[in-house]
Amino acid sequence: MSWQPVPGVRLAAASASLYAGERLDLAVLELAPGTESACVFTTNRFCAAPVEIAREHLGIRSPRLLLINAGCANAGLGEQGLYDARQCCMAAAEVFAIDPHEVLPFSTGVIGEKLDVGKIEAALPQLRQALSADGWPEAAQAILTTDTRVKLEGCRMKGGGKDLHVTGMAKGAGMICPDMATMLAFVATDLAVDAAVLEQVLERALETSFHAITVEGDTSTNDACVLVATGASGVALSDLSDSEVQAWEQAVFDTCETLAQAIVRDAEGATRFITIEVEQAATPEQAQAVARAVAHSPLVKTAAFAGDPNWGRILAAVGRSVGDLSRMDRIGVCLDDVPVVAGGAVAEDYREEQGLAVMEREEFTIRVNLGLGESQTRLYTCDLSYDYVKINAEYRT
């Protein structure tokens, strides 16, 4: 885990007792005046109250404060949830001396439970007093739910003759699916970037990171990813050479991808990290559909947990993924570099012990070649273990 303070961002974390016991569960990111932002939210149609309020506020003012609580999703509560989210924003605005519309609220936790606004209000002065440019680790700890570890990443580079920084934090371990998942992610840079350009960069970054991960196929009500550019370095994107722009964009992409992979590596009950690569698909949509079918198959995932190279389950998942896979004789499947399926049947030289050797690894790749075109995709997922069932069966007890 590596990270760098980002000039123009101060953070703090506190315990608001939203969980039973004493643990950090409330965090803020204070953004310097003039900070630009880009935000992407859950695709779940029943989005949580903080998502609705954050979208509303983004249409009015640029954010100056990100307020994040764990322990309660503030979702599925109708008008009460919206009221509570607004109350939190107004209370934070008063403590931090900004406009309520400059506060973006984010929540994560159990759906359907009322947010204890009073506890959050009581903790806000402590957060204001604790603000620090070095507050990333504590803030990253405060936003966790069923996560077992902090997810924090960043880097420093040269650009425009000065040091530039990119740092991000994320949370997520279950209800993870492409097109946003049960995750929150906050990434910051001190480069000055126009909001429209920032949105384009975030959109590209998501394709290889938070849109390319899945645990079990569920998508939550609260998901959000925020990319902010404070401009506190005094360097603008237009000041950079082409190679420096490329290096900065790659830093954003790499930070997002590392955080996304960290979510899958910390997935609830997971014992294996699996990369799924689909090659020679007819279209990008076909490649995505095949990758998701394999990644979401309970039979494939439980076989992975057992270390069982049951390639028939992979082939069956590919076959049910889309309606235009009519040429089984073109299908190839590899486990890492071991050819398992060729021409739609078991590879002539394949031996079971080869597959076992791959599936026993903590990390491996399932590579599917459709033999139909030039499109490809990559998706990150995990196995499905006994502990996943136990964690989610006992989530509220």
Identify the active-site residue in 35, 182, 275, 381.
182
Q: Which helix (H) or strand (E) holds 378?
A: strand 375-382
Is residue 182 flagged as an active site residue? Answer: yes
CA gap 109, 74 in Å, rounded: 8
139 φψ region: left (φ > 0), alpha (ψ -120 to 50), beta (else): alpha
Instruction: Locate 147 and state its tokens.
Output: 């996560």
First and final C-alpha spacing in the chain: 32
What is the sign of the dihedral through the CA atoms of 143, 296, 210 and 273? positive
Identify each DSSP E strand in 288-335 by its residue range: 332-335
**Residue 396 class from Cβ within 10 Å (0-12 exposed, 13-18 middle, 19+ buried)?**
exposed
Residues 322, 283: Cα–Cα separation, whole Å: 11
> For residue 393, what are its two tokens?
């069966």
Report how far residue 397's alpha carbon sits from residue 387's, in angstroms, rounded to the nearest whole number.
Answer: 15
Sheet holding 36-41, edge to edge: 36-41, 224-229, 184-189, 162-171, 151-159
So which residues are the catalytic ones? 182
